[in-house]
Amino acid sequence: MKRLSLAIRLLIREVRSGELTILVLALIIAVTSSTAISLFADRLQRTMTNQAADFLAGDLVVSSPQKLPRVWHEKAGEFHLNLAQTAEFSSVLIENEEMLLAGIKAVSSAYPLRGHLKISDFDYQRQQIVHHGPGLGEAWVEKRVLSALKMKIGDMLAVGEKPLRITKIITYEPDKRGDLYSLSPRVMINSDDLQATRVIQPGSHVHYYFQFSGETKQLLKFKSWIKPRLNPSQRVMDIHEDRPQLGSALERAERYLGLSSIVVILISGVAIAMAARRYTERHFNTSAMLRCLGCKQNEILWLYVFQFLIIGFAASALGCLAGWLAQSYLFYLLANLLPPQVANPSWFAIVFGFVTGIVILFGFALPPILRLKQVPPLRVLRRDLLPLPTSAWIVYGLAMTIIMALIWRYTKDIRMSATILGVGWLLIAVLGGIIWGGLTLSKNLIPHLNLSWRFALQGLLRNQQGSISQMLAFSITLVAMILTFTVRTDLIDDWQKQLPENAPNHFALNIFADQLPSFQQHLLQNKISGSRYYPVVRGRLIEINNTPVQQIVSKDSQGENATHRDLSLTWTDQMPEDNRIVAGKWWDALATETKPLVSIEQKLAKSLDIKLGDILTFTIGSQRLNATVTSIRKVQWDTMKPNFYMIFPPGVLDGYAHTFITSFFLPDQKKSLLNKLLKSYPSITILEVDLILKQFKTILSQLTQAINYLLYFALLAGFMVLFAAVISTLDARIYDGAIMRTLGANRKLLNTTHLLEFILLGFFSGVIALIISEGVIFSLYSYVLHLEYRFNSELWLVVPVLGAFVVGCVGFWGVRNVVNRPPSTVLRDI
Amino acid sequence: MKQSPQKSENVIIQAENLSKTVATANGPLHILSSVNLTIISGESIAIVGASGSGKSTLLGLLAGLDAPSDGTIKIKEYFITDMDEDGRAEIRNRFIGFVFQSFQLLPGLTALENVMLPLELRNDRNERFSAQNLLDRVELTERLSHRPNQLSGGEQQRVALARAFVTTPTILFADEPTGNLDSKTGEHIIELLFQLNQEQQTTLVLVTHDPALASRCERIIKLEAGKMV
């Protein structure tokens, strides 16, 4: 206890003297960034998950063509889950001598369990957010319904045999799906009115959706209870299963957030290690004196450990507070992009930030502190006596354990984490060797250099080991910065490429061959840009190599889904632009083949275990068609262009009845064209996906903003390392500078020497950083983020120059005192 | 702690056959060879010799700051050569005070805090009172809250003297206490050192180049190339 109070008293004096400022600042920045990122990522993830739940109007949804058995409802009750249900079906509405195929949706009183509806009275301007559907006797409709049926709010609309009063216009519906029922003009009614419409008869085509909400654990239990009880026509959906595009965007964003937080913690760790090293070195004399005064080795160790514990707690608490403020500010900045209800900060994220602070402080600062107990007391007589360096096992072991734990938290794969770490250290060792070789060789240059360059190079060579560690530290920091920057840029580019500004937002199906020329003309006249027109033949895959597919597919697989329904088969001589052959050859290389050929999508092929050369049997109408698989394609499904599991060469399917499909971009202001189009071509089905796309784009732009801010955090932490590194060498530089000035060196020479030394350090660190970055980015893109790797030649031009510039500026600023303080003061203080 | 079977009231330090050898690239270097020395309680002794003769090494060994390659050192009844570093630290804490050429004040602490430190390490409850008294004694009452870099060399050495005497040590080791000071300030420090030494009946072992300072001691030991002459 007495030792603790002594530690506190010494610490107070140290803090007052400013000795600990850099270390405490480095730690506060580390904890601020890690807490802010941890909190921000956690809140963003939970908000996005909630928002994803909004898309489903529940946390978990079961879709079924029939009502669910009563026992399922009871089971949901046992798990304390809330339940809402919707029934969706198509129905023809006839009013004012106008006819419209509408998507009717009957919703229960609890709908929507998650998310909200937006409704308005007359126009889109005054929208109102509600958390319930229409009341008894009411119908809410999309605006299009009113114009198509020449009606207005307050009119009575007959749905089947039930007249309902139109009371609101629906402008937003959370769980709008991309199927026929959802994308036809919406009419929403109360489920208690459903029976009175008498539309639903036995055998009617209805889709029921049962939405559940509740605690995650209970939902998971319920999900695992219902999964084995589902019949083939039923599906259970959550965010990952139901929205593949959003799912993958979320997953990548999560991975990026994880990556950024590791990067920031790692570079902050380097800053702490450097600051702690300087602190330790400045305390060799104090330790020697304390030992001289009778302190035992362990007492000295505990004295400093206590002090660091107190520093750790105080700085982590401050960092947590600052982190909390920083993330609040981020959410404030992003308020326009985020949903109004953002998930609350979780205590776990704050505790994580706090614990991270303590762990990184000791992980990176303990090895230097351990040196303090090794200081020989004889140092009071002989200043040149240095304590033995802390065992390399402890230094690297601790740092590696922490980095390993961080990577593991991110990858959740111990083998992969170990591999990343192993390769990383190997790389550092090899590069360390290369730098050592380079520096040793550069000694030959010294006689040929002018004075400034000679002093600069000698500055690097004097403490070769120190220069190597400094270059590696700068390199690692630059790698982290490059990584955060490049991955961010490529991730955002990839998203933007995925959904360009004028990505198609409507699909037109069932275009008959005789309608095709005039339909195309119609779009052209209205300056609507569209994708290619593909013929579609409906057919079902029934056999693979003469074995019925039902015997091959596994339950719940994509293959099972594909074999339970008719597939859209198409033919084309040109491969769709967002497809890529991964096995086999396209038709042009198989011109001599006379038998029917087919190209299959990669994931379906994998799911059904279909290989090149397999014979697939389809039924088309009442006829059978055999085709040999000659290529497997990777398809990018989320481009909003028509895509197909099965593509045939021209000539195979031409004889079968077929329609055409296309997609096109219709801007908001041309939306009214849709009614004209539907009137001119009543048989054509138009699917409107613009609302879904808008929601998706909003989420992507939110992510982009968030990711930009994380980049700034990483950059801030990076600059902190640079400062810490420069300051860690300040004492030696100040001393050398004072001696040189005493011997007659002028300020200009010293300034030039320092600047050149830092420029050299920065330039070579930049080159090394690029070598490491390219390797890491390649592995990251190939194995983790699944992005396409591109060699970035611009980086090779920019980074070494930028490294030289940044390190040069920071270094020059850091050591400005060397030339500004009178040598006599410097020498007296030493 | 191992005690000497032969108790002698007067002998405070006894060094027998003391040697210190260090390994260098050119083979072993003998810094001290077979030094035998007995110091009586209350005695003042000056160790003199040219640079590199082994004076500071001998001081470091006698104070338990370093371990000899060979030989034994007994302080009071304790064989410090049989102790590990922590054992020697305890001896230093209980019996020894130091004054150094380069003052060795802790830069972050004020004059008062520097003087309080050895008492704090002993868990002494009157550390502030005792430290203030000693600083009064060395005429630094007005400088209590000053840090070392705000003090002149002479003032710093007076703080160091106060720190050395605040624990009323049995033995005081002084390494060139006036080496960094001008002659006038040096004289003042020597005066103070011997006054305090007198008041507290401390055994004084000092290393010096200064013949005037050495002559004030009761005994002078001369070292040449690591040997007593």
The label of the residue with tokens 């259970």 reads A236
Over residues A457-496, the pLDDT tens digits come to: 887 887 777 788 778 878 877 887 787 777 777 777 776 6
- Output the pLDDT for position A204: 63
**Cα pseudo-dihedral A320, A323, A327, A328, rounded to 10:** 70
pLDDT band at A245 (very low <50, low <70, confident <90, very high): very low
- Output the pLDDT for position B101: 85
Over residues A655-665, the pLDDT tens digits come to: 888 888 898 88
Calpha distance A275→A24 (Å, rounded): 9
**A748 in contact with B, Cβ within 8 Å:** no
Closest listed residue to residue A700, CA positions, set A249, A37, A241, A240: A249
Question: A-chain residues within 8 Å CB-CB of B120?
Answer: 6, 9
* Residue bearing the bigger pLDDT, A134 or A525: A134
Q: Which of A 91-120 lie inside 8 A of B, CB atoms?
A: none
Lowest mean pLDDT among A187-201, A489-503, A771-785: A489-503
- Output the pLDDT for position A61: 87
Q: How close is the nearest chain B Cα to the Cα of A289, in Å?
A: 7
Alpha helices in A334-391 (DSSP H): 347-373
- Output the pLDDT for position A556: 47
- Output the pLDDT for position A686: 77
Q: Do A377 and B89 touch (CB under 8 A)?
A: yes
- Output the pLDDT for position A370: 86
Closest listed residue to residue B109, CA positions, set B96, B127, B86: B127
Task: Name the residue among A6, A13, A291 with its Cβ closest to that of B109.
Answer: A13
**A297 in contact with B, Cβ within 8 Å:** yes
The partner residues of A164 in beta bridges, in order of sequence, read A157
Calpha distance A498→A639 (Å, rounded): 6
Cα distances (Å, whole numbers) of residue A434 to A475, A770, B33 = 13, 14, 47
Looking from the CA of B172 toward its CB, the CA atoms found within 13 Å total 30
How many helices and strands (H and E) does chain A possess? Answer: 26, 22
DSSP A292: H
Question: B-chain residues within 8 Å CB-CB of A9?
Answer: 120
Determine the residue of chain A that is closest to B93 in CA distance: A294
Calpha distance A773→A673 (Å, rounded): 51
Pairing of strands A98-107, A186-190: parallel
> Rounded to a whole number, what is the largest CA-CA distance in chain B?
53
Q: Do B89 and A6 touch (CB under 8 A)?
A: no
Task: Name the residue among B92, B102, B108 with its Cβ closest to that of A292.
Answer: B92
Q: Of A284, A292, A296, A734, which to mutate for an interface test with B (greatest number of B Cβ within 10 Å)?
A: A292
**A291 in contact with B, Cβ within 8 Å:** yes
Calpha distance A648→A654 (Å, rounded): 10
**A1 in contact with B, Cβ within 8 Å:** no
Q: Do B121 and A295 touch (CB under 8 A)?
A: yes
Closest listed residue to residue A514, CA positions, set A663, A687, A658, A655: A658
Contacts of A439 (CB under 8 A, 6+ apart): A460, A461, A464, A467, A468
The answer, yes or no, to whether residue A598 has pLDDT greater than 90, is yes
Over residues A420-459, the pLDDT tens digits come to: 777 777 877 888 888 889 888 888 888 888 877 888 888 7
* Residue bearing the bigger pLDDT, A119 or A702: A119
Calpha distance A515→A649 (Å, rounded): 23
SS (H, E, C) A529-549: CECCCEEEEEEEEEEECCEEH
Calpha distance A679→A296 (Å, rounded): 94
Determine the residue of chain B that is closest to A286 in CA distance: B106
- Output the pLDDT for position B5: 39
Over residues A374-425, the pLDDT tens digits come to: 888 888 887 777 777 666 677 667 777 877 787 777 666 777 777 777 777 7
| Three-state DSSP class for residue A476 | helix
Centre a 10 Å sphere on the Cβ of residue A433 and count the other Cβ atoms it contains.
11
**A824 in contact with B, Cβ within 8 Å:** no
Lowest mean pLDDT among A15-24, A290-299, A661-670, A701-710: A701-710
Q: Of A380, A388, A821, A824, which to mutate for an interface test with B (greatest number of B Cβ within 10 Å)?
A: A380
Calpha distance A614→A545 (Å, rounded): 6
> Rounded to a whole number, what is the largest CA-CA distance in chain A?
108
Over residues A608-625, the pLDDT tens digits come to: 888 999 999 998 877 889
pLDDT band at A95 (very low <50, low <70, confident <90, very high): confident
Cα distances (Å, whole numbers) of residue A146 to A154, A165, A167, A297, A391 = 11, 12, 12, 87, 80
- Output the pLDDT for position A252: 64
Calpha distance A628→A593 (Å, rounded): 10
Q: Do B108 and A16 touch (CB under 8 A)?
A: yes
pLDDT above 70 coverage of chain A, percent? 83
DSSP A699: H
Q: How close is the nearest chain A Cα to the Cα of B115, in Å?
A: 11
Q: What amino acid occupies position B77?
A: E
The answer, yes or no, to whether residue A293 has pLDDT greater than 70, is yes
Cα distances (Å, whole numbers) of residue B53 to A48, A63, B28, B173, B212 = 77, 96, 16, 18, 19
pLDDT band at A164 (very low <50, low <70, confident <90, very high): very high
The label of the residue with tokens 């993830």 reads A45
Helices A747-779, A793-814: crossing angle, 10 deg rounding: 140
Question: B-chain residues within 8 Å CB-CB of A383?
Answer: 102
Determine the residue of chain A that is closest to B207 in CA distance: A381
The per-residue pLDDT string of chain B (229 residues; one tens digit each, 9 = 90 and over) reads 433 434 445 899 999 999 999 888 788 888 899 999 999 998 999 999 988 888 888 999 999 888 899 999 999 999 999 998 888 888 888 899 988 888 888 877 789 988 988 888 777 778 889 999 999 988 889 999 898 888 888 899 899 989 999 988 999 999 988 887 777 888 888 888 898 888 888 999 999 888 888 999 999 999 998 888 8
Closest listed residue to residue B159, CA positions, set A714, B149, A504: B149
Cβ proximity of A47 and A342 under 8 Å? yes
Q: How close is the nearest chain B Cα to the Cα of A377, in Å?
A: 5
**Average predicted confidence (pLDDT) for chain A:** 80
pLDDT band at A31 (very low <50, low <70, confident <90, very high): confident
**A2 in contact with B, Cβ within 8 Å:** yes
Determine the residue of chain A that is closest to B56 in CA distance: A381
Q: How close is the nearest chain A Cα to the Cα of B175, in Å?
A: 8
Helices A21-56, A347-373: crossing angle, 10 deg rounding: 150
| Three-state DSSP class for residue A645 | coil
Q: Of A291, A293, A375, A731, which to mutate for an interface test with B (greatest number of B Cβ within 10 Å)?
A: A293
Determine the residue of chain A that is closest to B67 in CA distance: A378
Calpha distance A369→A390 (Å, rounded): 9
Side by side, which strands form the sheet with B219-224? B96-100, B171-175, B203-207, B44-49, B219-224, B227-228
> Tokens in use for A555?
């339950």
Calpha distance A292→A284 (Å, rounded): 12
Question: A-chain residues within 8 Å CB-CB of B106?
Answer: 285-286, 289
Q: What amino acid occupies position A713?
A: F
Domain spans of chain B? 11-228
Lowest mean pLDDT among A323-332, A558-567, B181-190: A558-567
Most confident of A321-325, A334-338, A424-428, B121-125: A321-325
- Output the pLDDT for position A190: 95
Alpha helices in A57-185 (DSSP H): 70-78, 143-149, 180-183
Q: Of B110, B120, B149, which to mutate for an interface test with A (greatest number of A Cβ within 10 Å)?
A: B120
Side by side, which strands form the sheet with B70-75? B27-40, B11-24, B70-75, B78-79
- Output the pLDDT for position B4: 41
DSSP A343: P
The answer, yes or no, to whether residue A822 has pLDDT greater than 80, is no
- Output the pLDDT for position A339: 63
Over residues A495-545, the pLDDT tens digits come to: 666 666 777 888 888 788 888 898 888 888 888 888 889 998 888 888 899
Calpha distance B105→B114 (Å, rounded): 7
- Output the pLDDT for position A438: 86
CATH fold of B11-228: Rossmann fold (3.40.50)
pLDDT (average), residues A159-176: 87
The label of the residue with tokens 């080991």 reads A465
| Three-state DSSP class for residue A619 | strand
Q: Of B47, B103, B121, which to mutate for an interface test with A (greatest number of A Cβ within 10 Å)?
A: B121
**A377 in contact with B, Cβ within 8 Å:** yes
Q: Mark out chain B residues that contact chain A at CB-CB < 8 A.
A: 56, 59-60, 64-66, 85-86, 88-94, 96, 98, 100, 102, 104, 106-110, 113, 117-118, 120-123, 147, 149, 175
Q: Of B59, B69, B114, B117, which to mutate for an interface test with A (greatest number of A Cβ within 10 Å)?
A: B117
Q: How close is the nearest chain B Cα to the Cα of A360, in Å?
A: 26
- Output the pLDDT for position B222: 92
Calpha distance A163→A159 (Å, rounded): 6
Q: Do A294 and B92 touch (CB under 8 A)?
A: yes
